[in-house]
Structure 1
Amino acid sequence: MNAAPDDLSETQASVLAQDLRTLLSKLKRRLREQANVGQLTPSQASILLRLETDGPATASSLARAEGMRAQSVRPVIIALQDAGFVTGAPDPNDGRQTVLSLTDTCLGWIQEGRAARQDWLARTIQARLSTQQQVDVAKAVELLKRLVDD
């Protein structure tokens, strides 16, 4: 008995989704290796990215944005402050709170990490893929953008 075309397409999509997730996980891991992320935990990296993307914030607003309890985010922030990545200043609207922001050291570290990842990926693409394969990857990237663009 042959599978119906829709069943085959559904199976192919499922296999493709699994392969794509696995590949992207490996690529993410390799890029992380290039950036010298060091000992940052996923929570610490997420808080840094949130501060970089959204700007200065209080611990409670970071906790809400990250889906964490305020008590859980505090040790993360303390570790980032101890590392010199985050600094705090009194909230001008509510003196009981502290507004957290990235330090210049952290911003430089983020830029260096991104440059290292970009350089590694560009060199690897150039070294391992022919010109035609690079064109094919560019087409694939455009298709992948359709998965995430609204």
Structure 2
Amino acid sequence: MTASLDHQRALRASTLAQDLRALFGKLKRRLRDQADAGDFSPSQVSVLLRLEQDGPTTASALARAEGMRPQSMAPVLAALEGAGLISGTRDPDDGRQTLLSLTQACRKWIEDGRAARQDWLTRALQARLSPQEQEEVTRAVELLRRLVDE
């Protein structure tokens, strides 16, 4: 009996994991649609997010962090620089190096995109869920946070 119950629980957890992955993927796509993401490749977006999180760094450090060869990173950076999203300055510690960072225009674009996604999600929660359902989602978020917090 216990083996059957364990099997049922494992199957239920597997189904729940599949449903959560699908749901979060759909939510991510809906959020992405709410802000003008431009026509940027996943590599370009990843570089922008890394520069936002980690701050200024060199092209070679970005390539290492992204698991790319420096030669492959060059066109990614050139496109971002051409779009006015990143700029380079001399490294004060090593004048041979260039530190890449986000431009003010890029920071504003990121901020505006986040605000648009936040606004859409807030409006969707208010329009589609009752206050009681919003409380249920709050409790579910607390449980999900336990899954990812280490």
TM-score by length of 1: 0.95
Aligned pairs for 1:8-23 within 5 A: 8-23=8-23
Output the CA distance in 1 between the equivalents of 2:114 and 2:29: 14
Give the match for residue 25 of structure 1: 25
Aligned pairs for 1:102-117 within 5 A: 102-117=102-117
Output the CA distance in 1 between the equivalents of 2:52 and 2:2: 53
Shift, 1:92, TM fit: 2.1
Output the CA distance in 2 between the equivalents of 1:68 and 1:146: 32
Give the match for residue 95 of structure 2: 95
Write out per-residue CA displacement over residues 23-73 of structure 1, whole angstroms, 9 at most, x where no aligned residue: 001100010110110101111111000000000000111111111111111
Aligned pairs for 1:1-150 within 5 A: 4-150=4-150
SS in 1 for 2:34: helix
Aligned-pair identity in percent equals 63
Output the CA distance in 1 between the equivalents of 2:8 and 2:76: 46
| Deviation larger for 120-129 or 71-80 | 71-80
Q: What amino acid is aligned across from residue 99 of structure 1 in structure 2?
A: L
Shift, 1:95, TM fit: 2.5
Gaps of 5+ in 2: none
Gaps of 5+ in 1: none
TM-score by length of 2: 0.95
